[in-house]
Structure 1
Amino acid sequence: MADIGQVERPGILATIAPYFRKRPFAALLLGISSGFPLTLLLGTMTFWLARVGIEKSTIGFAVGLTTPYTLKFLWAPLIDRIRLPILTGWFGQRRAWLFFVQALLFGAIWMLGASDPARNLGLFAFWAIMTSFLSATQDIVIDAYRIEILPDEELAHGTAANQLGYRIGSALIAGVVTVALASPQGLNLGWALAYGLTAFCVIPGALAALWVGPGAHERAVAVDPEARGGSWLETTIVNPFREFFSRRGAVLILLFVLIYKVGDAMGQVMLNPMIVDLGFTDAEFIAINKVVGLWGIIVGTALGAPFLAWLGMGRALFVSGMLMMLSNLTFAVLASRGHDSTWLAIAVMTEQVTSGIGLTVFVTYLSGLSNLAFTATQFALLSSFAAVGRTWLSAPAGIAAEQLGWVGFWILTTVVALPGLLLLWLLWRRGFVVESVRRARAGASA
């Protein structure tokens, strides 16, 4: 069976050159703004909660605060259609919503940092939910805008650049810099100011949107006050879902998106609590992530687009899934060795490289599945299903770590990844992996 990217196998220079074009670079800046809030809620927040003595089982379920990421497809159609007064006229539909949501997100993150989970966990949870809702809404806009500004020949590279920006915003800035700002072993500014300063990461995405301008396929559709409600409802909400579910294998594709990264998500939730349990200091954690982690992100993400070009979509998904699954075993080795900086560096490097490749391939696949006529809604649907796996299927991770110990837990995350790979093999054999992408792109150009 033919696969995307297998007709020609371009040379290494041809696969690297598009990274330096305007639109892929703008996608990188958008990724920085998109990536940092989720890590503030999952990675950095769990580190914070562990430091103030919150139980591991509670930390594991704190991931449920990101539920809006799993439900964003419900309000994505409204963002596709509703025009914001004044702003839409000035900037167009996508950019108007981006600037509006980013202003609200900035304020919510400041309030989250100012909350004290040790004294008032309820207030802390409220601002975490508000940050999550606004961040998920920002993702709806950024994902649609990113897909719409990238031509087909730059989609993989733009997605890879976006993922690099996402990882810089999440792993480096929110995951390392924020901890360094707050930690007594760093600048010791406290969590409130650390979170507040991190909120300025909304700026790169705003600058990118001003630089690139409206997307080529942007649909700034005005709401016709004389149109009948049923017609507006059908156009806005029904048609995007109808088009997607009319494709062969649509339900199996959604199931695959749901479970593909569950093992990786379980590990992400409990990594920072394990680092604390193993006795690593804030300074050790920051140093390894700043040096080893950053280079792992850069290498892995840069390899994403060439990886896809050389293997094709189906094989790239399968191989990158295997690599991400096996990378969890390096953390099992780390857990067995205890406080071992060498193995922490090896595990972090392996995880960052494999995740950089895997996320680039996976998000390119989801982007290709999104019909440009319904970009925001369909990509929100797909990424929401992916977020369900990350949020709720991985929520019992804390209980698993308590029951199995750290070594057993990381072995479990490896086993949990197998069903996703088996389902991918089934989709690939039936031709659904490639066919659905081709139909989406063909429908967009029709």
Structure 2
Amino acid sequence: MSESTATPRKSWGEAFAVYLEPRQLIILVMGFASGLPLLLTLSTLSYWLSKVGIDKTTIGLFALAGAPYTFKFIWSPLIDQMPLPVLTRLLGWRKGWLFLLQLLLAAAIFALGFTDPAVNAEATAMMVLAVAFFSASQDIVIDAYRIEILKPEEQGAGAGTTQVGYRIGLLLAGAGAVAMSDFISWQAIFAILAAAVLACAIFTLFIPEPERRDPLVMRKIARKEFVGIAALTNFDYRGRIKEAVVDPFADFIRRPGWFVILIFILFYKFGDAFGGTMATPFYNELGFTGVEIAAVTKVWGVLATAIGGILGGLVVARIGVFKTLMIGGVLQGITNLLFSVLAMKGHDLIWLGVAVSADNLAGGVAAAAFVAYLSELCNLAFTATQYALLTSFMAYGRTMMSSGSGWLADHMPWPEFWATTALMAIPGLVFLLWITRLYPNEKNLVPDQTLTP
């Protein structure tokens, strides 16, 4: 939120102390819940498909199954504004939705393990699509919860904590899944991951509900007007369509350079996403084993990203979000070139560690600054809907635009492929410079903070 950018810069000690707040533990677990299913639709899926003999072009096209992350802004007003029968009254608005979606997500992941991509790739794609849909919907709630429960000055640290929890989730779904695949079936692996999501759903039952921004709705809930089917019949949907769908987007386009902001969000992490889609098949072609990939790129890589995320949160508090975004963006492009060197060296564990360490540290710093920036852009009156809109643009680069990465890898040597991904960082940096001219002091990112529609 814009207030955070107007506060004085903190000392390193003050910036780190925010991480010790109890609310950060909740954000950590939510980051874990968000990161775990995402990787199932990315590198873990790519590794599974490559191991059963699916060609790289098809693997690249599987990235399209992540389309729900791109289009989640379409149904985000529903999650933001519509109560659930029983669950909203018993658990609260955010908690009710989160609990339901996590149950559905756990079921979808479990069912994915019963498909065989070598026999019926279409069935696998449909289940991956279901996992992506429930995961993207869960993210709508998690992102809104984080923004609403944290104070404005805690958003940078919250972004860093999110990255740490996110990477722990990636660690289980990435390193855990890849390493376990050498010893147990994929069906058992997906069952374990489904159980982890189910544990998050149980955790959700015990967390506090953030204060809702619509007192009228909360008064109705307090009077228990939303009970069973009454949740659907008593709710004034006609009167709230404008507030739920039109107002969040109208509010966003009020700010100067809104279109530039969206294009920046689309391209800021595009190069990393484009290369990341082909990273696991790349390691596989170089002859790295599942255990080696898990140990270096997953375990150590996730740790490096978590360190980068914490560092990014501290740097945001010290020098501001725009400068941190610029540093992270430049480093993202440079570190992609290290994979070109790795491609020329071949099966070299030391160089793999160097490339992965640098790339993940840079990615962690950039991701923490990026999440903090997106959080600051959201008006508290429309948190879930606006954040879903912004991250949908980010996801479009990760899914739709990166779906051609497999084709490019099939038609280009690996050194040139990774050099191309490094160049893809340039457009995002250009648009970032444009935004810094529009908001030179990082102020007024949100025209107002109206708490009630």
- Offset of 1:371 from its aligned partner? 0.8
Tell me how far apart the structure 2 counterparts of residues 33 and 78 of structure 1 sit (CA, whole Å): 21
- Offset of 1:293 from its aligned partner? 1.8
Q: CA RMSD in A?
A: 2.2
- Offset of 1:414 from its aligned partner? 0.7
2:217 aligned with 1:209, yes or no?
no
Q: Equivalent residue for 1:158? A: 158
Q: Equivalent residue for 2:125? A: 125
- Offset of 1:25 from its aligned partner? 1.5
Q: Equivalent residue for 1:388? A: 396
Q: Which range moves more in the overlay, 403-412 or 227-236?
A: 227-236
- 2:57–2:407 contact (8 Å) kept in structure 1: yes
- The correspondence of residues 51-130 of structure 1 with structure 2, limited to 5 A, is 51-130=51-130
- Offset of 1:319 from its aligned partner? 1.1
- Offset of 1:434 from its aligned partner? 2.5
Tell me how far apart the structure 1 counterparts of residues 331 and 36 of structure 2 sit (CA, whole Å): 24
CA offsets, 1:352-410, max 9 Å, x none?
11111111100111011111111110000000011011111111111111212110010
Tell me how far apart the structure 2 counterparts of residues 389 and 382 of structure 1 sit (CA, whole Å): 12
Distance 1:445 1:353, change over 3 A: farther
- 2:340–2:414 contact (8 Å) kept in structure 1: yes
Distance 1:277 1:428, change over 3 A: same
- Offset of 1:134 from its aligned partner? 0.7
Which of 298, 304, 309 is residue 317 of structure 2 equivalent to?
309
Amino acid at match of 1:415: L
Tell me how far apart the structure 2 counterparts of residues 304 and 107 of structure 1 sit (CA, whole Å): 35
- 2:27–2:158 contact (8 Å) kept in structure 1: yes
2:369 aligned with 1:369, yes or no?
no
2:334 aligned with 1:326, yes or no?
yes
Q: Equivalent residue for 1:296? A: 304
- 2:255–2:445 contact (8 Å) kept in structure 1: no
2:353 aligned with 1:358, yes or no?
no
Distance 1:291 1:67, change over 3 A: closer
2:339 aligned with 1:340, yes or no?
no
- Offset of 1:291 from its aligned partner? 4.7
The 3-state SS of whatever aligns with 2:416 is helix
- Offset of 1:432 from its aligned partner? 7.3
Q: Equivalent residue for 1:39? A: 39
Gaps of 5+ in 2: 221-230
Distance 1:6 1:348, change over 3 A: farther
- Aligned residues, how many? 439
Q: Equivalent residue for 2:187? A: 192
CA offsets, 1:21-59, max 9 Å, x none?
111111010000011111011110000111111111111
Distance 1:9 1:435, change over 3 A: closer
- Offset of 1:437 from its aligned partner? 2.5
Distance 1:234 1:3, change over 3 A: closer
- 2:268–2:425 contact (8 Å) kept in structure 1: yes
2:344 aligned with 1:349, yes or no?
no
Gaps of 5+ in 1: none
- Offset of 1:208 from its aligned partner? 4.9
Q: Equivalent residue for 2:143? A: 143
2:422 aligned with 1:427, yes or no?
no
Amino acid at match of 1:27: I
Q: Equivalent residue for 1:180? A: 179
Tell me how far apart the structure 2 counterparts of residues 119 and 138 of structure 1 sit (CA, whole Å): 30
Which of 232, 239, 250 is residue 231 of structure 1 equivalent to?
239
The 3-state SS of whatever aligns with 1:159 is helix
Tell me how far apart the structure 2 counterparts of residues 336 and 321 of structure 1 sit (CA, whole Å): 25
Percent sequence identity is: 39
Q: Which range moves more in the overlay, 240-249 or 195-204?
A: 195-204
Tell me how far apart the structure 2 counterparts of residues 195 and 218 of structure 1 sit (CA, whole Å): 38
- Offset of 1:7 from its aligned partner? 6.5
- Offset of 1:81 from its aligned partner? 1.6
Amino acid at match of 2:187: A
- 1:254–1:385 contact (8 Å) kept in structure 2: yes
Tell me how far apart the structure 1 counterparts of residues 43 and 356 of structure 2 sit (CA, whole Å): 14
- Offset of 1:295 from its aligned partner? 2.9
- 1:63–1:395 contact (8 Å) kept in structure 2: yes
Q: Equivalent residue for 2:387? A: 379
- Offset of 1:211 from its aligned partner? 3.8
TM-score normalized with structure 1 length? 0.93
Q: Equivalent residue for 2:256? A: 248
Tell me how far apart the structure 2 counterparts of residues 174 and 229 of structure 1 sit (CA, whole Å): 39
Tell me how far apart the structure 1 counterparts of residues 11 and 280 of structure 2 sit (CA, whole Å): 39
The 3-state SS of whatever aligns with 1:300 is helix
Distance 1:3 1:342, change over 3 A: farther
Amino acid at match of 1:173: L
Q: Which range moves more in the overlay, 368-377 or 296-305?
A: 296-305
Runs of 4+ aligned residues of structure 1 deviating over 6 Å after TM superposition are none
The 3-state SS of whatever aligns with 1:437 is coil
- Offset of 1:218 from its aligned partner? 5.1
Distance 1:432 1:112, change over 3 A: farther
Tell me how far apart the structure 2 counterparts of residues 218 and 228 of structure 1 sit (CA, whole Å): 17
The 3-state SS of whatever aligns with 1:212 is coil
Q: Equivalent residue for 2:17? A: 17
Q: Which range moves more in the overlay, 216-225 or 364-373?
A: 216-225
- Offset of 1:294 from its aligned partner? 3.6
Q: Equivalent residue for 1:30? A: 30
TM-score normalized with structure 2 length? 0.92
Tell me how far apart the structure 2 counterparts of residues 253 and 327 of structure 1 sit (CA, whole Å): 25
CA offsets, 1:144-197, max 9 Å, x none?
111111111211111210111011101x111100112222xxxx2211110110
Q: Equivalent residue for 1:275? A: 283
Q: Equivalent residue for 1:167? A: 167
Distance 1:402 1:68, change over 3 A: same
